[in-house]
Amino acid sequence: MGIEHRLHARCAGLGGSNHGHGHEGHERGAAGARPFAFSSSPRHFERARPFAIEHIALDLALDFDARSVRGTATVRLRRVDPEAATIELDAIGFAIASVELAGKPARYVYDGARLLVDVGADVDRAALSIAYSATPRKGLYFLDADEHVPTRPKQAWTQFQEEDARHVFPCHDKPHAKMTTETRIRVPAGFYVLSNGALAGREAAGDHEVFHWKMDEPHASYLVSIVAGEFSELTAVAPVRGDGADGGTREIPLTYLVPKGREDDARRTFARTPEMITWFSELLGVPYPWNKYAQVVVSDFIFGGMENTTATTMYEHILLDERAALDVTSDDLIAHELAHQWFGDLVTCRDWSEGWLNEGFATFMEHVWREHHLGRDEYEYGVRNDLASYLGEATGRYRRPIVCQDYDAPLDLFDRHLYEKGGLVLHVLRVELGDALFWKGVSGYLRRHARGVVETRDLLRTLEDVSGRSLGRRFEELVHRPGHPELELQLSWEDGVLRCAAKQTQATADGVPSAFEVPIVLAVVDAETGRERREKLRLAARADTFSIPCPTRPRFVVVDPEMRILGEVTVKAPADMLRAQLVEARTARGRWLAAQALGKIDDPPTIEALAARLVDDAEFWGVRVECAESLGRLRAREGFDALVRARDVAHPKVRRAVVDALGRFRTPAAVEALKPKALRDESYLVEAEAARALGKTRQPAAFEVLLDVMARPSWADVIASGAIDGLSALRDDRALPHLFSRTRYGHPSRVRRAAALAIPKLATDRRAREHLEDLLDDADPIVRMDVVRALSDLGDSRSRSALRARAEVDLDARVRRRIREVVRDLGGERKQSEELKDTVERLENEQRELRARLAKLEAQRPKDAKKPAAPRAKPHEGAEEGRRAAAQEGVSDGSSSTVRGPSGS
């Protein structure tokens, strides 16, 4: 996994990082992947719609003191089923004052969750008016300052995805039901209200004000939005060609609503929104489909962003100060939510099981924007990182088909399979079809199903129509089957033949195929001419060997140069070929693949090649990141020296990778190398990563530095969180009081979450368990999720009762899902695996230290000494044999501390 992890969470998903680095350690459970569905998980099908809802009009007053709403909802309905007599609406926790049909009292039954109204058999169209009040536990969130968080603004905002609109207004709360909407919202004077569509009116009402918004195009209930608060308003326009009168240019009005005092940060953050809208409209062949686009930044939002039709809600950390903008971008999140205005809002998944058609496309379009703005290398590196994120979940948590009907709550599906793997499927289809056919198909898909609902087969058929190809098998393997190919490739050349031995090694549990049909492309570079030729192979069996005529030994061979293989690929090739590929490959992808592979070859020429590429300022930063990571993985003395020399390279993302790699060396020298970067760097993220790396050195001298760094303010609290991670890795019990205190309410959410996750690394006693169990009742659902993870890491089966009790009452589906997984898995297996991992790391480090000392002794021995050198220890060889070899040379045992390798190593 490269150092460039996702820093922003996405809409409804878990794709974001807690505190500036990935959660892969928590996804890669030591016990391996489990089934996605539980034995009790039901299979879901589309719900019946005997009456179509054509329009919903809300007239509501927001009561900030009572955290409640009161008013009426008018539902205009049309008969679909000629025999139906009752309409069923979702409505949770309402106090219903009256229900009228066509202006007359109607008979109804309400059980607290469903409102059933007798429509009669002779009514084809009618208006149903429901007067009610509610104090929503979900869907609508009221914020205000308190003694612990005095700076929190007074706001109210909705978040309805996936099915939480039912807590605020009566509706058919499923994505397949689309209708027009309007909202009349009463708020205190001085507040502003944002909602969908156009502002139809704004009028004073005493010490209150009423905002009237109308959305004249149909959309689903989960896309309705109401945001109220005090904001600064910035405006812009986005020109969309071919969408105005007579095919001219239409200007889309843009609004950015942000906290007062953050106007400069907003301009910096949202500056490229107009260009995104123009570019997406041209690329997709479908002009931006709505009347406006607003982005509002609120506090304490429970996701990264939410793509409400015409009115996206963003969390507060999207705003970047000048220092954060050095190496953080919000463009990915902005592009993701903007892409939803086409994929999700204009064309909506019929059922949540088909949600990848919303989220996969939006994730893919992040990379498409990055390609347009920054180039192809950035696109491919982003795709590579999404593959690593998906593989982390698939390897350590579960594997499931992307389209999956077996789940407990729709939010269970909003995972790395839906987002990252969904986007990767689209990348693979783009590569295989070519840009012209792929984008023609995507445009046709959007036009054919605009303002409607879709299933995977709709995309499949459109792509087949424009390409003339049969894509059924490809979709079956990529979308409808769980898992992915795990491929081992060995390249060799002899007697004019290049041989590629390929073997699929994936386990076949839970419906994973024993053999995928894998497209293998080899870019073979001639050693004499430097010309590249492509060899296209197809592996349909579990194992096969391909022989390719090749008169002279290739200079090097790049495997899968465009990433057609959605899976894990391990390549074994001669070291000289990989070193040549690192320098000479035509694409950055080819070069970083070489850098990754060289991280398993410990010899001086390899370390020299990686070190040279690391400091080459003309090289793409992602290649340099992989070089740093490989040097850290090898943990050779020469690699350490090269990393120290590279600490001050200009590119902040490369510096960040360098300090991360230095943390793999558990020596006092590593502490001295890292301290200056933890104490001051122009980049927040470099300081945070240096703090994290200091802890990984396991050197006591790092403790006081980390306490100092932990108090430092930063964008999104990344430095404090990095310092807490460092204290966790340091394994110094003196940190425990500091960690316990920082889990308390009043500290920033990200700091609290980092502290909760750090506690089980240092304490496994009753106090730690009970402290974490108390945090299960925290008001912040994101904190609760990480507390559940921490209890999993603690590995104490006595937590099961507290976890089960929380699951029975928790309203957040993400928390309930995590609890069920942890209760199922809690026991000794994960703990034993973690202990085994630490033991292996300790032994690896001991044998590396002994090798270094022996090499030094050999260099100091007089030239005429004939005594044979001690044998070189093999990887993972027992420490006792290493000690005996050292004793023969008079070398002391030394420290038994080890260097932590990369996740999954």
Phi/psi of residue 385, nearest 5 degrees = -70, -35
Q: Which residues of 302-332 are buried (b: 16+ CB within 10 A; e: fewer)?
A: bbbbbbbbbbbbbbebbbbbeebebbbbbbb
Cβ neighbours of residue 525 closer than 8 Å, sequence gap 6 or more: 531, 532, 554, 555, 556, 557, 558, 581, 584, 585
Q: Which residues pair with 75 in a beta bridge?
A: 56, 128
Q: Are 706 and 727 in contact (CB under 8 A)?
A: yes
Q: What is the pLDDT of residue 245?
A: 65
| Residue, of 887 and 341, whose pLDDT is higher | 341
CB atoms inside a 10 Å sphere around CB 233: 14
CB atoms inside a 10 Å sphere around CB 859: 7
Q: What is the pLDDT of residue 859?
A: 59
* β-strands 94-101, 125-134 pairing: antiparallel
| Confidence class for position 826, pLDDT limits 50, 70, 90 | confident
Residue 582: enclosing H or E segment and its boundaries? helix 575-584
Q: What is the pLDDT of residue 858?
A: 65
Structure-token pair, residue 219 = 């959309």
Structure-token pair, residue 653 = 């993302």
| Residue, of 506 and 6, whose pLDDT is higher | 506
pLDDT tens digits, residue range 776-817?
999 999 999 999 999 999 999 999 999 999 999 999 999 999
| Confidence class for position 32, pLDDT limits 50, 70, 90 | low
Q: Which residue, chain included where needed, has tokens 């793999």?
A: 664
Contacts 24+ apart (CB under 8 A), 874-882: 875/844, 875/847, 876/840, 876/843, 876/844, 877/843, 877/847, 878/843, 879/842, 879/843, 879/846, 879/847, 882/846, 882/847, 882/850
Q: Which residue, chain included where needed, has tokens 């939803």?
A: 340
Give the percent of the chain with pLDDT over 70.
Answer: 88
Structure-token pair, residue 749 = 């959410």
Cβ neighbours of residue 311 closer than 8 Å, sequence gap 6 or more: 194, 195, 196, 225, 227, 294, 296
pLDDT tens digits, residue range 204-259?
989 999 999 999 999 999 999 999 999 999 999 999 987 766 778 999 999 999 99
- Rounded average pLDDT over 823-851: 65
Check whether 889 has a pLDDT greater than 60.
no
| Confidence class for position 328, pLDDT limits 50, 70, 90 | very high
DSSP 329-354: -SHHHHHHHHHTTTBTTTBEESSGGG
DSSP 388-423: HHHHHHHHHTEE--SS--B-SSGGGG-STIIIIIHH
Q: Are 481 and 509 in contact (CB under 8 A)?
A: no
Structure-token pair, residue 365 = 């379009």
Q: Is 40 exposed, middle or buried (0-12, 13-18, 19+ CB in 10 A)?
A: exposed
Give the percent of the chain with pLDDT over 90.
Answer: 86
Min mean pLDDT across 118-122, 436-440, 566-570 is at 118-122
Helices (H) and strands (E) in the chain, counts: 28, 31
| Confidence class for position 16, pLDDT limits 50, 70, 90 | very low
| Confidence class for position 870, pLDDT limits 50, 70, 90 | very low
Min mean pLDDT across 34-38, 76-80, 333-337, 512-516 is at 34-38
Check whether 430 has a pLDDT greater than 80.
yes
Amino acid residing at 487: L
Q: How far apart are CA 497 and CA 489, in angstroms?
A: 16
Longest CA pairwise span in the chain (Å): 110
Handedness of CA 886, 891, 897, 901 (dihedral sign): negative
**What dihedral angle (degrees, nearest 10) is formed by the CA atoms of 410, 904, 683, 314?**
0
- Rounded average pLDDT over 134-146: 97
CB atoms inside a 10 Å sphere around CB 508: 12
Check whether 627 has a pLDDT greater than 80.
yes
Check whether 352 has a pLDDT greater than 80.
yes
| Confidence class for position 898, pLDDT limits 50, 70, 90 | very low
- Rounded average pLDDT over 360-386: 98
| Nearest Cα residue to 755 out of 733, 782, 732, 786 | 786
| Confidence class for position 850, pLDDT limits 50, 70, 90 | confident
| Confidence class for position 893, pLDDT limits 50, 70, 90 | very low
Could you tell me the pTM of the whole model? 0.90
Average pLDDT, the chain: 91
| Confidence class for position 33, pLDDT limits 50, 70, 90 | confident
Structure-token pair, residue 754 = 């980092």
Q: What is the pLDDT of residue 864?
A: 54
Check whether 890 has a pLDDT greater than 70.
no
| Residue, of 382 and 871, whose pLDDT is higher | 382
Q: How far apart are CA 739 and CA 729, in angstroms?
A: 13
Structure-token pair, residue 412 = 């269970």
Q: What is the pLDDT of residue 861?
A: 63
Q: What is the pLDDT of residue 878?
A: 41
- Rounded average pLDDT over 41-51: 94
Q: Are 851 and 636 in contact (CB under 8 A)?
A: no
Q: Are 463 and 429 in contact (CB under 8 A)?
A: yes
Q: Which residues of 395-431 are buried (b: 16+ CB within 10 A; e: fewer)?
A: bbbbbbbbbbbbbbbbbbbbbbbbbbbbbbbbbbbbb
Check whether 895 has a pLDDT greater than 70.
no
Instruction: Report cis status (omega within 30 of 0) of the bond before 46.
Output: no
- Rounded average pLDDT over 286-315: 98
| Confidence class for position 866, pLDDT limits 50, 70, 90 | very low
Check whether 450 has a pLDDT greater than 70.
yes
Q: What is the pLDDT of residue 772?
A: 98
Q: What is the pLDDT of residue 318?
A: 98
Helix, strand, coil share (%) of the chain residues, nearest 5: 40, 20, 35
Q: Are 733 and 700 in contact (CB under 8 A)?
A: no
Q: Which residue, chain included where needed, has tokens 């008001």?
A: 779
Q: How far apart are CA 319 and CA 373, in angstroms?
A: 20
**785-to-40, 317, 360, 415 alpha-carbon distances in Å:** 22, 19, 24, 14
Q: Are 398 and 34 in contact (CB under 8 A)?
A: yes
